[in-house]
Amino acid sequence: MQNMFKNVHSKRFLLTYLSLVVLLLLVFLTLSQQQQQKESSNSSGSMLTVFEPTLEIPQFLAYTSDNSVFTNDAFSGKWSFVFIPSVDCHDCEAIFRVLKNLKDGLANRSVQLVLIDIGGQQVDELMALVHSHDLDARIITVNGTPSENKSLKNFFTRSRAYPDQDLEHAVFLINPKAFLAARFQAPFTSVLIRQSFIQLRSDYAANH
């Protein structure tokens, strides 16, 4: 009889112990998953600034590599990712790889990549980078007056959330109404930009 009670107590203890282990394991897995989600969210949030309301881009006149006219109207009707490299762009290779993967991943004709050369000093370098990365992008040269060029550059570098930051570390998103919608601040990956873009595009479709 005593042996039987001992066995019952032993089984109860074992079941209680196993239940406690399982419970602790579940708690650990839940906390780990929440931490991973939080880190992912923080990573995405730190590189993305959404402009609400969107910002109207200053009027400008530019020319493409084949001497076609390019104005603000060229942004209408499609989403545009814009990159404005500086003269001594140290991270251009990395940014171009991100843009290449981004465009390939989207594979959408309603999305265009636009590389803006303000002042016409980098056309040859940009053409070489585009060809070396097999990048489907439009290269445009803004040839306004020095004051107009400065105004356009200041619009992007001093947009509310990021005062006076280097253009070579940012990619801008322009919506189909030709308004500045968001800024992606390096470091970033094509996956993070694509995920953010899909959400922004969905929000835009729901409101227009």
**Over the chain, what is the mean pLDDT?**
79
C-alpha–C-alpha distance, residues 147 and 154, integer Å: 10
Report the greatest alpha carbon distance in the chain: 102
- On whether the CB atoms of residues 157 and 165 are closer than 8 A, the answer is yes
28-71 residue pLDDT tens = 555 544 443 333 333 455 689 899 899 999 889 999 988 899 99
Domains of the chain as residue ranges with CATH? 49-207 (3.40.30.10)
What span, in angstroms and rounded, lies between the C-alpha atoms of 208 and 204?
A: 6
Return the percentage of the chain with pLDDT > 90, whole number: 34
What average pLDDT does the segment 169-179 reach?
A: 93
**pLDDT given for residue 143 in this prediction:** 80
Task: State the first-to-last Cα distance of the chain, in angstroms, to the nearest integer.
Answer: 79
Q: Which of 24-33, 85-94, 159-168, 195-204 has the lowest mean pLDDT?
A: 159-168
pLDDT in tens, 76-119: 999 999 998 876 666 778 888 999 999 988 877 789 999 998 87
Per-residue confidence (pLDDT) for residue 190, from 0 to 100: 93
Tens digit of each residue's pLDDT (9 = 90 or more) over 60-69: 999 998 889 9
Q: Is the pLDDT of residue 2 over 60?
A: no
